[in-house]
Amino acid sequence: MCGIVGYLGPKQAAPILLDGLRRLEYRGYDSAGLAVRDGAGDPVVVRAKGRLRILAEKTNGGDALPGNIGIGHTRWATHGEPSEANAHPHISLDASVVGVHNGIIENYQELREKLINNGYTYYSQTDTEVAVNLVDYYLKKYKVGPIDALAKTMVRVRGTYALAVMFRDFPGEIYAARKDSPLIIGQGENEMFLASDVPAILDRTRDVYYMGNLEMARVRQDGVTFFDLNGDAVPKPLTHIEWDAAAAEKGEFEHFMMKEIHEQPRAVSDTLHSFLRGGQEEAGIDLSDIGLPDERLKEFDSVLFVACGSAYHVGMIGQYVLEDLAGIPVRVELASEFRYRNLPVLPKTLCVVISQSGETADSLAALREAKARGLTTLGIVNVIGSSIARESDHVMHTLAGPEIAVATTKAFSAQLIACYILSIAMGRARGNLTDGAASQLTKELCALPGKIERSLEDKERIQWFATKFSGHRDAFFIGRGLDYVACMEGSLKMKEISYVHSEAYAAGELKHGTISLIEEGTLVVCVMTQSELFPKTLSNAMEVQSRGGYLMGLTSYGNYSLEDTADFVVYTPKTDPHFTVSLSIIPLQLMAYYVAVAKGVDIDKPRNLAKSVTVE
Ligand code: M6R
């Protein structure tokens, strides 16, 4: 979604802002803009529809905008079409206030009317212009300073926002306000930064403050002060980010997605070892550091996974594995549905919210709903300091590092590990798994990074196959059990980055309707890694093939009989049946990637999509 950057320091602001915006491009956007001020002069605003390149051309790479203080923005349209007029920054009626915004002001229509009645006029269709004018209105009506005006605005608006604002009468300062949309403040040597996400400023500083919900900040070149809604100062720790700037660069790879696919062995290994006692395989899994020792884990009598998109697929896999290893009833819900339904939940339910970004609006709302219903919550989150990480009772951090490509790969794999760990720990705590069985499963988990590495070695064959099929308009993914969930994730990857229509079907369901779509040459990817289900799924594969479908089989080494049925077969190493998706997903990610390469589309920033979905 939208990206915000800000700078105050001795250097020229605009090139730094443009650079920061470039690093936030992965969030998705359709227009961009800058507001820069030189000393006490009025901010100069430049906006452009389309790619950042256009804004850079308009400002000569930022050189044409003098001044050491500024804010910048990439917009992902919600209210009003993508256009120069709707792009941020927005300016209040008499240019006293200029601001950028990420999020949605839900009651903006009502506020717009109210301000029109007070003499305000508008040049854009955005909710942001309304918010900026509301700040201006309170500033003048109550003759207060920026913090009070912002606080009054925050009390009056409904919705979500991260706001960065400059006030004409307060040179040398940028103000910020936050509710539910992320915003961080970076502290450098005699310079300060604002950003929606760490990668925007990682090459300039690794010391950041995470703004809390309903907090404001006054940022000056020499530091920042945080305030609550009452205007009282809020102390806040400075966090040192462990990733280095290279973690957020493409390096030798053509796309972030491919780099991140190759980072999966590392992401899996780092995540796994962070939950092993002393980092040692022999010492076993230990969740007491996150407040979930065995005595606590055995108190729960059900588990509810809530998430969106790929993270929801992880929840589905968590359901299969947890039910089997821990013998506990598990439900999995789409966060966007859970929050609007009255799902009966047992009081001793552990609600697990899975989110890479930790900022997905629906997942965050579901977390709050679960807390309001008195459930204990566990966040499985990649971004440290994110809203879901901060608001969950317990947190399992996945150590995937920054994930830039919109299509998730390494964070998905790391989330799977967190679910496996939770399942083994719960299984042991509930007496469903003996210590011996738990340690055997842990040993198998420790072998996964090497096996993922091996799965990546087959990429040339997959590229050949994917290129051959890149002209296809449809693809079907079929499988049973965990293979079916792998299909759902593989199909989502295919849709989101290569724009090929695809559907995932439980193999046994195909003949209840969908098989009518199979005709000569239809591509069907059949995932068959579960040995118990192999013969059943093989029958479904044959049904497809006898109707002319072109069959790609995906199975484990050893199941060579599939060669007799499928037109093309990909193998993954064998592992415990609970963990097969960690391996079968690799060829499916590669397949989607290479189809997208062959089609020449923008892989890291697919059309219409955003990395972090901070609106409902
Ligand atoms: O940041 P989150 O894990 O909460 O994001 C959830 C989904 O938006 C995300 O998994 C999305 O489906 C991915 N783009 C899929 O690749």
Q: Which residue has its alpha carbon closest to ligand 1 atom 4?
A: 355
Q: Which residue has the tokens 């002060």?
A: 225
In a domain, 291, yes or no: yes
What's the pLDDT band for 245 if we cut at 50, 70, 90? low
What are phi and psi for residue 309, nearest 5 degrees? 55, -130
In a domain, 555, yes or no: yes
**Of 424, 453, 482, the domain-final residue:** 453
Please tell me the pTM assigned to this model.
0.78
CA distance 125 to 113: 13
Q: CB count, 10 Å around CB of 174? A: 28
> For the chain, how long is the longest CA-to-CA vector?
81
Q: Which atom of ligand 1 is nearest to the CA of 409?
A: 16
Same-domain check for residues 284 and 406: yes
Q: What spacing in Å lies between the alpha carbon of 235 and ligand 1's midpoint?
A: 32
Q: Which atom of ligand 1 is nearest to the CA of 309?
A: 12
Same-domain check for residues 143 and 224: yes
- The chain-wide mean pLDDT, for the chain, equals 92
Domain that holds residue 429: 256-453
Rama region for 43: left / alpha / beta (φ>0; ψ in -120 to 50; rest): beta
Same-domain check for residues 232 and 93: yes
Q: Give 41-90 pLDDT, tens digit per residue.
A: 999 999 999 989 999 999 999 999 999 999 999 998 877 888 999 999 99
Q: Which residue has its alpha carbon closest to ligand 1 atom 12?
A: 309
Is residue 526 annotated as part of the catalytic site, yes or no?
A: no
Q: Which residue has its alpha carbon closest to ligand 1 atom 9?
A: 309
Same-domain check for residues 233 and 271: no
Q: What spacing in Å lies between the alpha carbon of 459 and ligand 1's midpoint?
A: 24
**Of 215, 248, 281, the domain-final residue:** 248
Q: Which pLDDT value is given to residue 444?
A: 96
Average pLDDT over residues 193-199: 92
Same-domain check for residues 470 and 369: no
Q: Which residue has its alpha carbon closest to ligand 1 atom 11?
A: 309
Q: Which long-range contacts (CB under 8 A, 24 or more apart) does 343-349 make?
A: 345/302, 345/304, 345/370, 345/373, 345/375, 346/301, 346/302, 347/374, 347/375, 348/299, 348/300, 348/301, 348/302, 349/300, 349/301, 349/302, 349/303, 349/304, 349/375, 349/376
The DSSP-derived string for 475-512 is EEEEESTHHHHHHHHHHHHHHHHH--EEEEEEGGGGGG
In a domain, 568, yes or no: yes
Q: Give 249-272 pLDDT, tens digit per residue.
A: 788 899 999 999 999 999 999 999
Q: Which pLDDT value is given to residue 531?
A: 86
Average pLDDT over residues 288-315: 96
Q: What is the SS3 assignment for 559-611?
A: CHHHHHCCCEEEEECCCCHHHCHHHHHHHHHHHHHHHHHHHCCCCCCCCCCCC
Q: Give 429-451 pLDDT, tens digit per residue.
A: 999 999 999 999 999 999 999 99
For the chain, what is the domain count? 3
Rama region for 131: left / alpha / beta (φ>0; ψ in -120 to 50; rest): alpha
Same-domain check for residues 203 and 220: yes
Q: What spacing in Å lies between the alpha carbon of 2 and ligand 1's midpoint?
A: 16
Q: What spacing in Å lies between the alpha carbon of 358 and ligand 1's midpoint?
A: 10
Peptide bond into 43 cis (omega under 30): no
Q: Which atom of ligand 1 is nearest to the CA of 357?
A: 1
Helix pair 410-429, 309-326: axis angle to 10 deg: 20
Residue 611 has pLDDT above 80, yes or no: no
Chain-centroid distance of CA 613 in Å reads 7
Residue 280 has pLDDT above 80, yes or no: no
- Give the helix/strand (H/E) hosting 355: strand 349-355
CATH of the domain at 272: 3.40.50.10490
Same-domain check for residues 13 and 132: yes
Residue 384 has pLDDT above 90, yes or no: no
Is residue 2 annotated as part of the catalytic site, yes or no?
A: yes
